[in-house]
Amino acid sequence: MSFISVRYFKSEIGELIIGSYENELCLLDYRYRNMRASIDSRISKGLNARFVEQNSSVPVIENTISQLKEYFTGSRYDFTVKIRTVGTEFQNQVWDSLCKIPYGETTTYLKLAKSIGNEKAVRAVASANGANAIGIIIPCHRVIGSDGSLVGFAGGLTAKRKLLKLEQSDSMQKNQLPLFD
């Protein structure tokens, strides 16, 4: 059995768990989230690997932390870490579509469902969004309710609001989402 190297990182939006498998990022998620066990199980089974906490340097994890720090200071808008997603074909389709949402912009679950050619799959899209194990880099936080409200997020709505405000304050976009304080 192979190994998924993991390390914990305290960020501006909560404690994250970062995982690397064969020099690719396979996990960037909130350490304490409701779906932690099911997501970890899906990744472990999908890669036929077990999680091992690393205190030594793992290049992909170090690079991810470095890029996250740049992101949180507003000096990074895109990530260059090589990722490996573990999910169904549908989930991967949704996650690919999430990656197309530009920095500083948002979309709705309905628009996301339409972007994959299945506007009736709104609930399934929301479920796939919630199963995303590589948050921030696969920007599930950029999905909001059809009425503009902040809905569902693994790290909680406070963290989602912070991420959106960070991106909007740095964005050159004029069409910005009003966020509630």
State the catalytic residue, choosing from 128, 136, 140, 163. 140
Active site includes 26?
Answer: no
CB 153 within 8 A of CB 132: no
Neighbours of 77 (CB within 10 A): 13
Dihedral, CA of residue 57, residue 29, residue 106 and residue 67, to nearest 10: -10
Length of the chain counted residue by residue: 181
C-alpha 118/C-alpha 167 separation (Å) is 28
Among all residues, which ones are annotated catalytic?
A: 140
